[in-house]
Each structure stands twice: as structure tokens, then as C-alpha cells.
Amino acid sequence: MMPELGKYAAEVLSAYGASLLLLAALVGVTLLRGRAARRALEETEAEAGRRG
């Protein structure tokens, strides 16, 4: 249940909204970049293996 934030509701909610958005973006970008790097290395190692 939402707490009563009174006259500062906009400030509190915008602080939480902005922070959680930034944290989510950081985690999301980190995971996507990590998966891409892992895939790129696997493909490159496979290619190097084929070439001997």
C-alpha cells in the first residue's frame, strides 16, 4: 500500500523513479554488453580453432 507522502510526493517519487531507472539502465546495459562479449569470444575462438 502506498504511503502518505503529503506535499513532497512529487519530490520523493521523482527521486525514486529517476534512481531506479538509472540503476535498471546500468544493470541492463551491463548484462547485454556482457552477453555480446561472451558470444563474440566464443565465435572468434571457434573460428581460430577451424583455422588451426
Binding site for other proteins (CB under 8 A): 1, 3-9, 11-12, 14-16, 18-19, 22-23, 25-27, 30-31, 33-34, 37-38, 40-41, 44-45, 47-48, 51
- Residue 35 DSSP class: H
Contact 49, 42 (CB under 8 A): no
Minimum Å gap between C-beta 45 and other proteins is 7
Name the helix (H) or strand (E) containing 34. helix 9-51
Closest separation between CB of residue 29 and other proteins, Å?
Answer: 8
Smallest separation (angstroms) from other proteins to the CB of 51: 6
Q: Whats the size of the chain, residue-wise?
A: 52
